[in-house]
Structure 1
Amino acid sequence: MKLIESDDFYYDFHENGIIPPYISNLFLKHSGVLFYENKKGGKNIGNLPLVYYLGVVPSYIDISLFNKDNYNLKKINERENVGNAISINSYNNINEYLKSHFKAKYRSNINRYVKRLESSFNITHKMYFGEIKKEKFYFLMNTLKSMLEVRFSQLKKTNFTLLTWKDNYESYFQLIKTKKASLSVIYDNEIPIDISFSFHFNNILFSSTSCFDVDYLKFGLGNISIYKELEWCIKNNYDVYDMTFGMLEYKRKWCDLNYVFESHIYAKKGNINSYLISKFLSAIIGFKNLLKLIKAHILLEIFQAIYLKFKYKGELSINNKSIKYKIENIDTTNNIEKLKEINYQKASFKQLKKPLYDFLYTANENISNIKVYKSENSNQTYFFYGNKKIAKLVIDIS
């Protein structure tokens, strides 16, 4: 007889779409929706072990075993492991959710982000889910990687997704083709400015890796990315939009379903050995929680980051230099500067993109109406001419 059947539930479930054969049904606890049913009837279970152990189980999921009457269940919260999600199934459109979840002021801010972006650029949104050409997949994933490198270089933080990119990259294409994953992309014309990679299991979307072009930072692309994915989920009758581990404040504000991760221990009834094993497993989980309480896990994460950086040394190509600048609205440039119009889209003027896009946001201008001039008296002075406003840009090279 097998002593323990052990599975990492969350990883197998949301990344690989694998459910252990001894599980009969999965329900959403908050709505009672059945979202998985094992139709094989437990034929592949084999001999029953003394203990089933399921690690990292989201608390919003109810699990039913084929032989649940033979086992006692103990649930233990995993300290520091928290997640947030959006419960979708009661909403008909994105505006219903915004009105229900947010106060008027915050709702107005989100709508302003969306409107400003769409009025300033030629914006489209594309969800790659089931159909994507391999060339497009490679292009988008390489773009996402570059975005992450730039963003985390700015933040001066370690990104574990980047450090393990090579290990997971190739498998994602097939996952998208089989509708087990997706790429949500916001385009400015043909240029991706926000990319989000997610896993799918039936009617649950698990947000995994996302980033945006930092030149568009002013437009709140993080919020707009969630807006677009949530809108897609509602239109496609999804039940949950799960933002998984780790939570930035702006993401947390979107969520109405806060949950913890649990360890589930199923001990066979009337067996002293199963009782002792369950006690031992409980003690291990308790010890891990104690280490997290004294913040020992942070030290472990630091060592892990150092190890991964060494393992993948030379594979990250971060090359981003942010500039300092001052931009101010002016009434006219007459008699102030001798000006020469420039093509700001040239690579040599790449440093102008962020201040220019900041100007578009504050002036509520469209990029097609903008002309950019360079001062002939100063190499670091530029002027943005729109239909509504004029701005002077001075770049600090000190």
Structure 2
Amino acid sequence: MGLLQTVNHNFTQKFFENGDFNPLIGEIYNENKNESFENPNQNLDNTNLNAVYLIEFVPPFFKLKFNASKGQLSSFKYTYFKGFMCDLRTSKSLDDYMSTQLGKKKKKVVLSRLRRLETCFNIEYKTFYGEIKNDECDALMDAFNAMIKKRFNQRGDTHSSLKTWDFYKEETAALIRSNKACLFVIYNDNTPISISINFLFDNVFESAISSYEIDYAKFGLGNIIVLKKLEWCFDNCFNFFNMRYGDYPYKRMWCNTVFEYDSYVVYKKSITKYLKAFVVTKKNQAITYAILNKDKFKALVSLRSKLKGKSNNTSNADVEQPKEACFKALDNFMESNYKNLVPVDIKGDEFAFLRKPIFDLQYSQASKTEDMACFKIDNNTYVAKNTKTNKYFILELA
């Protein structure tokens, strides 16, 4: 192990998801409930006490007391990344919370998209908590995995949960049956279009991983599944809805509490380990600061380049983004004039690329799936028809 290397432990993932207490921890004080509970696993026989340990992502409402069975452990504590949470204790209902936190305008937008989703599709909401069949859970987790990959491929990124997906696939059903986890699913005609896995401890609801079919992006499924989970929290007496780390606009919109995760650099008392732990702490604080302020550093680099008369030709802002294909209104269209008009089924893989344009059209027209028909004129030209209003729309691919 290198001079400044540490043994790392993500407290949030290990504690809430795996139910794993690091043996270095002797006791945890829960400020939310004003109570302490001991670690049932305090056996340090297999723990290398010559190493320095980094226990990170500890929510501030948990205070750690370290195991003293093999001699005194000491620690340096510092704040880490921001966390985002909905404290529901001061709200009587979901409607009350949304009115206070989102405000009239944003609340109206979210509820409007919810109504539009339910108008356009045959929507069903289901929460798996306490009971789920193994084969159903396996099928949902496979669909969930595919959703995450599809969404993050679109963003040119990889979701960190995929690195430990085997754990989620193998353990979720058992965790649901023991009331330690729940799955939220939004279905359209019995097909999952949004899935979220969440972990539960006392009155804390940990919103862990969520994703949705990107073809439905227009309907704001991300906000709708947050709304439905918050509704469940109110119905089931959960006071804290924790959306964890990751600073995104939708979290700031929903959350009334922004906190900082704590990190502990833990070591067995000695001069050499003290010095190593001190340097590790300062190094990690510097790294955290750099990550949190990366936009400022980018701005400084950009300003410096401009002052030197240089331009950044590779900037994303200078790259023209491709426009999404969309249907446009078509006047005076006569089906009888097109003998080669071929009906297409967007449910099949061959015409899957038409789903998002069709769903976007449904959103704008507030039209039901059964009222929409789609036809192919040629490989680059497609026509959609609202059979209820008899209106036509054309899609021309480049």
The TM-score, its normalising length taken from structure 1, stands at 0.76
Alignment partner of 1:215 is 2:215:
yes
| Aligned position for 2:145 | 145
After TM superposition, the structure 1 = structure 2 runs for residues 308-387 of structure 1, keeping only pairs within 5 Å, are: 325-334=325-334, 337-338=337-338, 340=341, 342=343, 344-347=345-348, 348-368=350-370, 370-374=371-375, 376=377, 380-387=381-388
Distance across 2 between alignment mates of 1:116 and 1:213:
16
| Aligned position for 2:203 | 203
Cα distance change of structure 1 residues 61 and 150 upon mapping to structure 2, 3 Å threshold: same
Instruction: State the 1:160 CA deviation.
Output: 2.4
After superposition, the C-alpha distances for 1:101-124 in whole angstroms (9 at most, x for unaligned) are: 012111111111111111111111
Instruction: State the 1:86 CA deviation.
Output: 0.9
Cα distance change of structure 1 residues 262 and 222 upon mapping to structure 2, 3 Å threshold: same
| Aligned position for 2:311 | none
Cα distance change of structure 1 residues 265 and 376 upon mapping to structure 2, 3 Å threshold: closer
| Aligned position for 2:90 | 90
Cα distance change of structure 1 residues 59 and 324 upon mapping to structure 2, 3 Å threshold: closer
Cα distance change of structure 1 residues 8 and 161 upon mapping to structure 2, 3 Å threshold: closer
SS class of match (1:218): helix
After TM superposition, the structure 1 = structure 2 runs for residues 75-224 of structure 1, keeping only pairs within 5 Å, are: 75-78=77-80, 81-224=81-224
Instruction: State the 1:137 CA deviation.
Output: 0.5
Q: Aligned partner of 1:77: which letter? A: T
Alignment partner of 2:286 out of 283, 290, 294? 290
Instruction: State the 1:58 CA deviation.
Output: 3.8
Distance across 1 between alignment mates of 2:219 and 2:342:
26
After superposition, the C-alpha distances for 1:3-27 in whole angstroms (9 at most, x for unaligned) are: xx99653333222234466215311
Q: Is the 8 A contact 1:324 1:395 kept in 2?
A: no
| Aligned position for 2:250 | 250
| Aligned position for 1:15 | 17
Alignment partner of 1:25 is 2:29:
yes
Q: Aligned partner of 2:173: which letter? A: F
Q: Is the 8 A contact 2:9 2:56 kept in 1?
A: no
Q: Aligned partner of 1:92: which letter? A: K
Q: Aligned partner of 1:23: which letter? A: E
Tell me whether 218-227 or 378-387 shows the greater mean CA deviation: 378-387
Q: Aligned partner of 2:381: which letter? A: Q
Cα distance change of structure 1 residues 279 and 57 upon mapping to structure 2, 3 Å threshold: farther
The TM-score, its normalising length taken from structure 2, stands at 0.76
SS class of match (2:327): strand
Q: Is the 8 A contact 1:198 1:206 kept in 2?
A: yes
Distance across 1 between alignment mates of 2:323 and 2:37:
56
Q: Is the 8 A contact 2:195 2:211 kept in 1?
A: yes
Q: Aligned partner of 1:285: which letter? A: T
SS class of match (1:251): helix
Instruction: State the 1:334 CA deviation.
Output: 3.5
Q: Is the 8 A contact 1:212 1:221 kept in 2?
A: yes
| Superposed CA RMSD | 3.8
After superposition, the C-alpha distances for 1:43-73 in whole angstroms (9 at most, x for unaligned) are: 96899x9xx97722545314264999x9998
Distance across 1 between alignment mates of 2:267 and 2:353:
62
Cα distance change of structure 1 residues 275 and 377 upon mapping to structure 2, 3 Å threshold: closer
Instruction: State the 1:275 CA deviation.
Output: 8.0
Cα distance change of structure 1 residues 134 and 287 upon mapping to structure 2, 3 Å threshold: same
| Aligned position for 2:237 | 237
Q: Is the 8 A contact 1:323 1:395 kept in 2?
A: no
| Aligned position for 1:392 | 393
Calculate percent identity across the aligned residue pairs: 24
Cα distance change of structure 1 residues 365 and 95 upon mapping to structure 2, 3 Å threshold: same
Tell me whether 330-339 or 177-186 shows the greater mean CA deviation: 330-339
Distance across 1 between alignment mates of 2:84 and 2:391:
43
After superposition, the C-alpha distances for 1:284-305 in whole angstroms (9 at most, x for unaligned) are: 111122234445999xxxxxxx
Q: Is the 8 A contact 1:129 1:181 kept in 2?
A: yes
Distance across 2 between alignment mates of 1:330 and 1:83:
48
Instruction: State the 1:139 CA deviation.
Output: 0.6
Distance across 1 between alignment mates of 2:172 and 2:142:
13
Cα distance change of structure 1 residues 61 and 296 upon mapping to structure 2, 3 Å threshold: closer
Q: Structure 1, unaligned stretches of length 5 or more?
A: 299-321
